[in-house]
């Protein structure tokens, strides 16, 4: 019976594609790109840069995943998951590149699951808890604007693989920034409560800005976005108050270790397993 076609074929003949999964492998943005490290590029520096950028993306994706089943509306459920999936995809490509060039041949999971908090190099902005929707959205606006500026620069990187990853990421990050900007305007302009919460979120994000600009100086780009969005939202610009230390040197908040404990727990409980 034709109704049953989908189900009946389940157990038949997929032996050749045991690692198959829909939506997670068909489009290879690195297809046709030469993976050798070009002359004049320091492999160690390149690997560090890839891990750093991957850590930012993975930790952000983990926070976005926490919104699942908790978003204020179904449309936001879908959008936040989209953004989380984009960032998770970026992390996977970047970890894979790091493993190719750092001489260890490690796969993406070795970086994600078998390093401790002190070895992660993500900015602290990515790891602090989600807070309310206003905080998550303001954080996303800042993060996406900053990362977008960085990725735009990286599209001209001498490593063609990193340049290709960045080119794919630029399109994604432009959407993330747009989505967040629209929400900040809605929230700033919406009700007294949403305005108050968003104003507070901007204050809460401010201490983490300095670290971003030390890691990659996109101050002009990020400030320009914030100025434009806060003006449209009727919100004040956040006052800049840099925190000491940096996630880039392994100095994290107390929030990273529990985040990683959750992320890594199952994988570490079964180190011999294949998934």
Partner 1 sequence: MDTTHSSPAGSGGTEPVLQEHFDATIARDRRIEPRDWMPEGYRKTLVRQIAQHAHSEIIGMQPEGEWITRAPSLRRKAILFAKVQDEAGHGLYLYSAAETLGADRADLTERLIEGRQKYSSIFNYPTLSFADVGVIGWFVDGAAICNQVPLCRSSYGPYARAMVRICKEESFHQRQGYELLMTMMRGTEEQREMVQDAVDRWWWPSLMMFGPPDDASPNSAQSMAWKIKRHSNDELRQRFVDMTVPQAEKLGVTLPDPELRWNEERGHHDFGTPDWDELMRVIKGDGPCNAQRMERRRTAHEEGAWVREAATAHAAKQAVRAEKGAVA
Residue 6 near partner 1 by CB under 8 A: yes
Range in contact with partner 1 (rule: CB under 8 A) among 35-43, 87-95, 120-128, 171-179: 87-95
Tell me how many residues contact partner 1 (CB under 8 A). 65
206's CB contacts (< 8 A; 6+ apart) are 238, 239, 240, 241
For partner 1, the closer CB: 8 or 237: 8
Among 16, 23, 39, 40, binds partner 1 (CB under 8 A): 23
For partner 1, the closer CB: 56 or 108: 108
For partner 1, the closer CB: 104 or 249: 104
3-state secondary structure of 97: helix
- Residue 85's alpha-carbon distances to 65, 111, 114, 228, 230, in angstroms, are 9, 18, 21, 27, 27
Query: The tokens 């001498």 sit on which residue?
Result: 158
Site string for partner 1, 185-204 (x = CB under 8 A): xxx-xxx-xx--x-------
Residue 26 near partner 1 by CB under 8 A: no
187's CB contacts (< 8 A; 6+ apart) are 133, 134, 137, 194, 195, 197, 198, 233
As measured in angstroms, the least distance from the Cβ of 92 to partner 1 is: 5
What is the Cα gyration radius of the chain?
Answer: 20
How far apart are the C-alpha atoms of 155 and 173, rounded to whole Å? 13
How far apart are the C-alpha atoms of 150 and 169, rounded to whole Å? 10
Range in contact with partner 1 (rule: CB under 8 A) among 45-53, 123-131, 140-148, 264-272: 264-272
Residues in the chain, total:
275
Among 50, 52, 55, 92, binds partner 1 (CB under 8 A): 92
Residue 85 near partner 1 by CB under 8 A: yes
As measured in angstroms, the least distance from the Cβ of 58 to partner 1 is: 8
- Residue 215's alpha-carbon distances to 31, 164, 221, in angstroms, are 30, 21, 14
Range in contact with partner 1 (rule: CB under 8 A) among 40-48, 65-73, 164-172, 245-253: 65-73
DSSP state of 102: S
Short-list 153, 168, 165, CA closest to 220: 153
Residue 31 near partner 1 by CB under 8 A: no
As measured in angstroms, the least distance from the Cβ of 74 to partner 1 is: 5
Point out which residues bind partner 1 (CB under 8 A): 3-4, 6-8, 10-11, 14, 18-25, 58, 62, 65-66, 68-78, 81-82, 84-85, 88-89, 91-92, 95, 108-109, 112-113, 132-133, 185-187, 189-191, 193-194, 197, 262-263, 265-267, 270, 272-275
């Amino acid at each position: 019976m034709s109704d049953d076609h989908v189900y009946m074929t389940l157990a038949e003949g997929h032996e050749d594609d045991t690692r198959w999964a829909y939506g997670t492998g068909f489009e290879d943005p690195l297809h046709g790109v030469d993976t050798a490290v070009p002359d004049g590029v320091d492999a160690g520096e390149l690997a560090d840069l890839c891990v750093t950028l991957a850590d930012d993306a993975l930790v952000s994706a983990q926070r976005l995943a926490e919104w699942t089943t908790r978003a204020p509306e179904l449309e936001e459920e879908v959008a936040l998951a989209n953004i989380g999936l984009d960032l998770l995809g970026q992390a996977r490509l970047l970890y894979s590149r790091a493993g190719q060039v750092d001489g260890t041949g490690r796969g993406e999971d070795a970086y994600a699951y078998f390093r401790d908090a002190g070895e992660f190099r993500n900015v602290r902005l990515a790891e602090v808890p989600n807070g309310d929707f206003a905080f998550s959205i303001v954080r996303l606006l800042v993060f996406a604007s900053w990362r977008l500026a960085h990725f735009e620069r990286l599209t001209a990187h001498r490593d063609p693989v990193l340049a290709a990853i960045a080119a794919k990421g630029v399109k994604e990050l432009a959407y993330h920034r747009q989505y967040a900007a629209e929400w900040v305007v809605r929230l700033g302009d919406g009700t007294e409560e949403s305005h108050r919460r968003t104003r507070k979120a901007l204050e809460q994000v401010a201490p983490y800005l300095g670290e971003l600009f030390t890691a990659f100086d996109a101050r002009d780009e990020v400030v320009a976005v914030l100025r434009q969005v806060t003006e449209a939202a009727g919100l004040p610009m956040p006052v800049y108050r840099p925190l000491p230390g940096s996630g880039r040197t392994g100095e994290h908040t107390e929030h990273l270790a529990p985040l990683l404990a959750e992320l890594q727990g199952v994988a570490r409980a079964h180190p011999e397993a294949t998934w």
